[in-house]
Amino acid sequence: MRRVPENPGNDVSPTRCQSPSYYRRRRTLFTNLGGCISNSGKAELHAHTTYSDGVLSPSDLVAEAERADLTALAITDHDIVSGVAPARASALDLDLEIIAGVEFSTNLDEGHEIHMLGLFVDDANDELIKCTDQARRFRRQRAKEIVERLNSKGIDVEFTAVESAAGYGSIGRPHIAKAIVEADKDTGDVNEAFRKWIGIGKTAFVPKETVGAEEVISVVHRAGGVAILAHPGSYRWSWRRCQEGIRTLADLGLDGFELVHPSYTSNARKKFKGLIDEMGLLPSGGSDFHGPPVGTTRLGEYAVSLQWLEALREAATSHRANIHSTEENV
């Protein structure tokens, strides 16, 4: 477990790359993608609830998904899977599949933070829950340190106020920002709290300690899911560094990455499409929905095709079969 800086720059040492034949072999594992690179579809594979930094409760998010006419919705809260069960319960009488997911904060190589989605995980898996519990302990400790820094600068934020903002979910900087706005009359809104105090490099910013990428990928696989690198285009990487990072993660068992995300330009999407084709990884994507007024992206605005969804499901099924085979041979 290491404490790492978030959104790193480009000063990362080169990583090893697999041979072209390795990626050709990977490509044969996942067939029938049909070259479907489109943001139109019915599967929303990246959405947050009040169990992390989303605005909507699981039941309200399900209602929003129904209004958006989605076929499938993945609950991918930060470092917690507790929002999956209530979402599933709310969707029982609807024609909507709830996919158990999670978004881990993790690190790569030199300790640079990235986010990893686990999709189709068993949300009751003991090892997965233990890993998310550890991640949330890191979050809680970091929040305490940020509050201490704020207090030392005369911002009278209490940790209990941060806990109250987070409710029953994972504590994150958005919750601290809300507490700052309540405590400091000179901070007008959450965005200003980030700009003045808790954004990267600001006075009260504290890097996040995380679980390593190799462990996260392994835990996701053992929980029967697929490991998807979230929004690789949003990290402060050069294109060369991005390719190296994805290849390093592929060496560790990465199943795919988000090819569709609100942060991408059309040029970035084309580059990532080429990388997907070259490496034989699985495409995923979603709106990274947090709800109003956090952002203007609508739930389902970046939904992906059901063809992509089924390819991801097939990979998850393969992981589960491998787990059962290994257990039988022990």
Helices 126-152 and 213-222, interaxial angle, to 10°?
140
Map 182-197 to HEC letters.
HHCCCCCCHHHHHHHH
The architecture in CATH of the region 136-198 reads: Orthogonal Bundle (1.10)
Q: Range with the lowest mean pLDDT among 3-12, 56-65, 232-241, 317-326?
A: 3-12
What pTM was estimated for this model as a whole? 0.84
Nearest-angstrom CA–CA distance, 77 and 44: 13
Q: What integer pLDDT is reported at residue 141 of this predicted model?
A: 96
Phi, psi of 112 (to 5 degrees): -90, 135
Phi, psi of 108 (to 5 degrees): -135, 130
Quick check: 251 pLDDT over 60? yes
pLDDT, tens only, 292-301: 875 578 999 9
- Among all chains, which residue has been given the structure tokens 């998010």? 61
Percent of the chain with pLDDT over 90: 76
Strands 226-229 and 112-119: antiparallel
Q: Do domains 2-6+40-133+210-329 and 136-198 have the same CATH topology?
A: no
Average pLDDT of the segment spanning 289-309: 88
Q: CATH class for domain 2-6+40-133+210-329?
A: alpha beta
Please name the amino acid found at residue 116.
Answer: M
pLDDT, tens only, 30-50: 333 444 434 446 999 999 999
Residue 263: name the closest of 294, 235, 300 by CA: 235
Quote the DSSP letter at residue 198.
Answer: I
Percent of the chain with pLDDT over 70: 84
Q: How confident is the model at residue 236 (pLDDT cuts 50, 70, 90)?
A: confident
Q: What integer pLDDT is reported at residue 65 of this predicted model?
A: 97
Q: Which helix (H) or strand (E) holds 4?
A: strand 2-4
Q: How confident is the model at residue 185 (pLDDT cuts 50, 70, 90)?
A: very high
Tell me the residue length of the chain. Answer: 330
Residue 29: name the closest of 324, 311, 220 by CA: 311
Q: What integer pLDDT is reported at residue 3 of this predicted model?
A: 47
Phi, psi of 116 (to 5 degrees): -125, 125
Contact (CB, 8 A) for 312 and 226: yes
The three-class DSSP label of residue 227 is: strand
Domain assignments of the chain as residue spans, ordered by start: 2-6+40-133+210-329, 136-198
Residues 6 or more apart whose CB falls under 8 angstroms from that of 169 comprise: 49, 50, 51, 52, 53, 77, 80, 82, 83
Contact (CB, 8 A) for 62 and 37: no
What share of residues in the chain are helix, strand, coil (percent, to 5)?
45, 15, 40
